[in-house]
Amino acid sequence: MKIAVLGTGTVGPTIAGALAGLGHEVVIGTRDPEATLARTGPGLMGAAPFAQWHAGHSQIGVATFADAAAGAEIVVNATNGGGSLDALTAAGAANLAGKVLVDVANPLDFSQGMPPSLNPVNTDSLAEQIQRAFPEARVVKTLNTMTASVMVDPAGVAGGEHSVFVSGNDVDAKETVTWLLKGFGHRDIIDLGDITTARGAEMIMPLWLRLWGALGTGHFNFKIAR
């Protein structure tokens, strides 16, 4: 399928590379393709500069948020939570209308220092904000509860014996996302319900962040035993 992955941090390239490896036609979206390709400094957490990553994935296009979304059947939001609404506004409501919009972002708020808190939280979620702002997009929250490498290679943690959640109003969109998740190797895919259930998935982040500190690694995931 034609998939736009909006985001050039750690998650965007990780998901884009995995999708391309599965045979999808992938374009990465960014605010300014030229500036992004000119970045030479390391990414967050020592990730390779974007251009270096792209040199090894030259089949993946790099475009503005709008151009990437315009040509896609599915759009993945892998942008910074604080910038997601701006990024999707730049992508353009018309380019998102009717499309599955996979939201993997977390609304982390670093304004009070570390560890970050969430904004919005509890009675709202970033996924709901996105669905309200783009009512014609079919938003599905997923994958935000694990680190990027685990998103696309679940077998790398406990042989893949762990869980991933989906939240969204559109049943067909959740089926499409479930199919994508199975392509990555996820087996325990739990449909939490409508888009308001994304509050729960986003509110796992405070626990995830403390586990990261306690375990000294982000390479873990949650298993819902039942």
Q: Give the residue with the Cβ less far from ligand NAP, 50 or 138.
A: 50
Residue 105 sits in the site that holds ligand NAP (CB under 6 A): yes
Residue 86 sits in the site that holds ligand NAP (CB under 6 A): yes
The residues in 157-216 that bind ligand NAP, with binding defined as CB under 6 A, are: none
Question: From CA 45, how far away is CA 163, in angstroms rounded?
Answer: 25
Q: Can you tell me which of 3, 5, 108, 192 binds ligand NAP, judged by CB under 6 A?
A: 108
Query: Which segment (92-100, 142-150, 154-162, 168-176) binds ligand NAP by CB under 6 A?
Result: 142-150
Q: Give the residue with the Cβ less far from ligand NAP, 81 or 174.
A: 81
CB-based contacts of 188-192 (< 8 A; 24+ apart in sequence) = 188/161, 188/162, 188/163, 188/164, 188/223, 188/224, 189/163, 189/164, 189/165, 190/163, 190/164, 190/165, 190/166, 190/224, 191/165, 191/166, 191/167, 192/165, 192/166, 192/167
Contact (CB, 8 A) for 86 and 60: no
Q: Give the residue with the Cβ less far from ligand NAP, 86 or 161.
A: 86
Tell me the residue ranges of DSSP E strands in the chain. Answer: 2-6, 25-30, 61-64, 74-77, 100-103, 108-109, 117-118, 138-142, 163-168, 188-193
**Crossing angle of helices 84-91 and 126-133, rounded to 10°:** 30
Residue 12 sits in the site that holds ligand NAP (CB under 6 A): yes
Residue 87 sits in the site that holds ligand NAP (CB under 6 A): yes
Q: Can you tell me which of 83, 98, 156, 185 binds ligand NAP, judged by CB under 6 A?
A: 83
Task: Look up residue 221 and give its two tokens.
Answer: 């995931």
Query: Which segment (17-25, 99-107, 161-169, 192-200) binds ligand NAP by CB under 6 A?
Result: 99-107
Rounded least distance, CB 203 to ligand NAP, Å:
13
Give residue number: closest CB to ligand NAP. 9
Q: Give the residue with the Cβ less far from ligand NAP, 52 or 171.
A: 52
Question: From CA 76, how far away is CA 100, in angstroms rounded?
Answer: 8
- Enumerate binding residues for ligand NAP (CB under 6 A): 7-12, 30-31, 36, 44, 78-81, 83, 86-87, 104-106, 108, 144, 147-148
